[in-house]
């Protein structure tokens, strides 16, 4: 029996090769792997001795040879195949142990050149893996070092590798090569600055962990991460305390973090079930925390809290008395961390680059039955707006309008956000019509904070008003300014009502549906 070994990841390969050698398996190898095995006393044969042809083109051509691929692809119980091998004096290769050039590691290096990246695109490796996987019933193919032990155990116990294991290894090969090719395609797309949606879309992610369950206990779940640095992403956060993050924790926390990234000043966001329930900005992080907490002391129970500045001891003392699922911040004062760790179940995470936003061309993906829908993320920043009413907003109103506009971007549609003094004081998420969302936001404001706090507040709507009824409700509640996209055929009716009531209104020309 013969084994062809060519690996960039050399973890465990020496021990594995020695065990094969003890079992009488002849080792064939290439390049750096051959050198490593020889240094460790393994009687490996260099690939050029097998092929009778030297490695050439700076190692670009090593294993692309009939003596390699015929030896791998020949079906052992096919008499014609075996007779051809005999005539051509080609031996079978029974084990292929290959993992590929470190393309991922190369492109993740700072300032890597395109040429370096291209030189780390493996050609012979994927070809051998695919050949061996295609002939899985006769060839044991290994691309993952974690599978060495499984193969050795079966060889020692049964003197062969089971067909079930070979089939499993075949699957891993095609997962591995698909991942590898998808990385290359993504790199080239980025190099070309190609923002178009391709006719064939292949995405690749790496598993971070299996999860206990999904949204509900009867659903399986796992967490995957994009390949790359993923700066500012929850997948790069360091967990300092608490239980494993659940599917719902991750989904909700991600939404809170994306809203948090909209703000440059000290800000705290509280989130529940994917919707913000309290947002506060201030000149210091403690005041921002108080605003976020006081915005909705009910919904924050069992919620998520994220901060774009260090959590202080003063904040931690107050957090400790609230049931929170997850807390995320760029850092924690030592005493603050000790206080939060006293609650063993609260998940405390550190995300150093918490302000880092996703690239503007990142994909937002939703799975549907039989396919998926893909769009770029909603990364647009409001750079311009139109004042459409007779009364212009005051500087204070404008500040609060822009604050509320950032929030409503992350409220499920139909969504309304009411703000005052850089605090969310009422949020109406996910209603089937806009007037219900408006009424809900106003009612929550009065119920959760104060009957009169709505006076002088501002209202943001994620999409246009189809009728002027929302303006009527805003006026009755004491709201003095409204920010919305505009674009309804009845816009003038809403403008006329605002003028009648002395409400200032801005059109952004930009919608923020979030379904």
**Residues that are catalytic:** 134, 273
Structure tokens at 464: 């246009």
Residue 436 contacts by C-beta under 8 Å, 6 or more apart in sequence?
A: 414, 428
Contacts 24+ apart (CB under 8 A), 466-469: 466/434, 466/490, 467/435, 467/493, 467/494, 468/493, 468/494, 468/496, 468/497, 469/435, 469/438
Question: CA-CA distance, 401 to 366, in Å (whole number)?
Answer: 30
Q: Which of 99, 45, 34 is nearest to 67 (CA)?
A: 45
For 341, phi then psi, to 5°, come to -70, -15
Residues pairing with 210 in the sheet: 222
Map 137-196 to HEC letters.
CCCEEECCHHHHHHHHHHHHHHCCCCHHHHHHHHHHHHHHHHHHHHHHHHHHHHHCCCCC
Q: Which of 101, 224, 98, 223 is nearest to 169 (CA)?
A: 98
For 183, phi then psi, to 5°, come to -60, -45
User: Residue 443: which H helix or E strand, with range?
Assistant: helix 434-448
Question: CA-CA distance, 446 to 425, in Å (whole number)?
Answer: 9
Q: Which of 412, 390, 392, 399 is nearest to 462 (CA)?
A: 412
Our measurement of the distance from residue 229's CA atom to the centroid of its chain's CA atoms, rounded to an integer in Å, reads 11
At 77 the three-state DSSP class reads coil
Angle made by CA atoms 234, 237, 239, in degrees to the nearest 5:
120
Start-end of H helices in 300-380: 313-320, 334-341
Following CA atoms 219, 323, 311, 339 in sequence, which dihedral angle do they give, to the nearest 10 degrees? -110
Residue 208 contacts by C-beta under 8 Å, 6 or more apart in sequence?
A: 222, 223, 224, 225, 235
Determine the angle formed by the axes of helices 434-448 and 469-477, rounding to 10 degrees.
10
**Residue 256 near residue 304, CB atoms below 8 Å:** yes
Residues pairing with 239 in the sheet: 349
Question: CA-CA distance, 36 to 17, in Å (whole number)?
Answer: 11
In this structure, is the dihedral angle defined by the CA atoms of residues 56, 60, 65 and 70, taken in order, positive or negative? positive
């Amino acid at each position: 029996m013969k084994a062809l070994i060519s690996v960039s990841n050399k973890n465990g390969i020496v021990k594995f090769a020695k065990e094969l050698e003890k079992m009488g398996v002849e080792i064939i190898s290439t390049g750096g792997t051959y050198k490593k095995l020889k240094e460790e006393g393994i009687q490996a044969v260099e690939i050029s001795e097998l092929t009778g042809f030297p490695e050439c083109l700076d190692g670009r051509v090593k294993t692309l040879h009939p003596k390699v691929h015929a030896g791998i692809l020949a079906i052992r119980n096919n008499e014609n195949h075996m007779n051809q091998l005999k005539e051509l004096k080609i031996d079978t290769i029974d084990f292929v142990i290959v993992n590929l050039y470190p393309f991922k590691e190369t492109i993740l290096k700072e300032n890597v050149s395109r040429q370096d990246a291209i030189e780390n695109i493996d050609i012979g490796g994927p070809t051998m893996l695919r050949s061996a996987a295609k002939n899985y019933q006769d060839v044991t193919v290994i691309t993952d070092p974690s599978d060495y032990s499984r193969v050795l155990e079966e060889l020692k116990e049964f003197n062969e590798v089971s067909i079930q294991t070979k089939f499993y290894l075949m699957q891993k090969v095609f997962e591995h090569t698909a991942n590898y090719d998808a990385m290359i395609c993504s790199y080239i797309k980025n190099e070309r600055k190609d923002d178009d949606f391709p006719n064939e879309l292949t995405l690749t992610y790496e598993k971070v962990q299996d999860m206990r369950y999904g949204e509900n206990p009867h659903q399986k779940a796992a967490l995957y991460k994009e390949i790359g640095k993923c700066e500012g992403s929850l997948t790069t956060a360091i967990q300092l305390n608490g239980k494993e993050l659940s599917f719902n924790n991750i989904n909700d926390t991600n939404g809170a973090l994306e809203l948090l990234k909209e703000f440059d000043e000290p800000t705290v966001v509280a989130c529940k079930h994917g919707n913000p329930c309290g947002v506060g900005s201030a000149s210091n992080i403690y005041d921002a925390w108080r605003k976020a907490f006081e915005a909705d002391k009910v919904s924050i129970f069992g919620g998520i809290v994220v901060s774009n500045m260090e959590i202080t001891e003063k904040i931690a003392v107050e957090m400790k008395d609230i049931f929170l699922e997850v807390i995320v911040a760029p850092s924690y004062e030592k005493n603050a961390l000790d206080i939060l760790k006293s609650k063993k179940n609260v998940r405390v995470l550190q995300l150093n680059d918490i302000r880092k936003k996703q690239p503007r061309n990142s994909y937002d993906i939703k799975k549907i039955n039989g396919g998926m829908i893909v769009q770029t993320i909603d990364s647009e920043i409001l750079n311009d707006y139109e004042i459409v009413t007779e009364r212009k907003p005051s500087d204070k109103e404008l500040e609060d309008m822009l604050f509320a506009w950032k929030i409503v971007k992350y409220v499920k549609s139909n969504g309304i956000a009411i703000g005052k003094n850089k605090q969310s004081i009422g949020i109406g998420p996910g209603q089937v019509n806009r007037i219900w969302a408006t009424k809900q936001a106003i009612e929550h404001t009065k119920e959760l904070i104060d009957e009169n706090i709505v006076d002088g507040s501002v209202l943001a709507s994620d999409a246009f008003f189809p009728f002027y009824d929302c303006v009527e409700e805003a006026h009755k509640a004491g709201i003095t300014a409204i920010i919305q996209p505009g674009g309804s055929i009845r816009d003038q009716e809403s403008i006329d009502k605002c003028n009648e009531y002395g409400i200032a209104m801005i059109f952004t020309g930009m919608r923020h549906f979030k379904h």
